Amino acid sequence: ASGSGWSCVSMSHPLLAQDSEAENKVGETASDSEGKAEAAPPAPVDDTPEVLNRALSNMSSRWKNWWVRGILTLAMIVFFFIIIYLGPMVLMMIVMCVQIKCFHEIITIGYNVYHSYELPWFRTLSWYFLLCVNYFFYGETATDYFFTLVQREEPLRILSKYHRFISFALYLTGFCMFVLSLVKKHYRLQFYMVRLRNQ
């Protein structure tokens, strides 16, 4: 009778009930950890190209690792010099492709996070500002590189002559579009996103 009275007291008192739950959880985690200890850890994945695996198959893993790292380092250095040899336009195109892909990833993450706020023109403004910045930074370099072509074609000559004014007008238009897209109760978030976009 005294044992059943003690169990009623322990269940009615919140601290004692929490202690018994904690003991149950400890028992569960101990049995879980024993089950995990029996399972073997996953084997490391070998991403070495098959050609290198076949060529270096008779070496120990230590020396094989050194040779793989050395060969791939030399390949990256050669690739770097080839890009430099091809000239500034190829380098600009590679930088622009990497920049656009990175920007796409950032905008996708931002859109997924802030999609619930229903902010208008989020992606449109982001890509518009990227276009404006690229036009401003790459426009004069491309004009210098293609000088004879620019001087022959009238539309290109106008773009070259008024390049900075056009860049300013495009940026000002984007800023006006941003002001028109502001939503009450989300000003702080929208200004944060503009700061993030224009870094």
Q: What is the pLDDT of residues 132-162, one digit of tens each?
A: 988 998 888 888 877 887 888 888 888 888 9
Which carries the bigger pLDDT value, residue 2 or residue 141?
141
Maximum pairwise Cα distance, the chain: 107
Long-range contacts of 190-193, Cβ-Cβ distance < 8 Å, separation of 24 or more: 190/119, 193/110, 193/114, 193/119, 193/122
pTM above 0.75, yes or no: no
The arithmetic mean of pLDDT across residues 85-101, rounded, is 89
Write down the pLDDT at residue 98. Answer: 93
Confidence of residue 168 (pLDDT cuts 50, 70, 90): very high
Nearest in space to 164 (alpha carbons), one of 172, 176, 155: 172
* Cα–Cα distance list, 194 to 51, 94, 108, 163, 181 (Å): 48, 26, 15, 24, 12
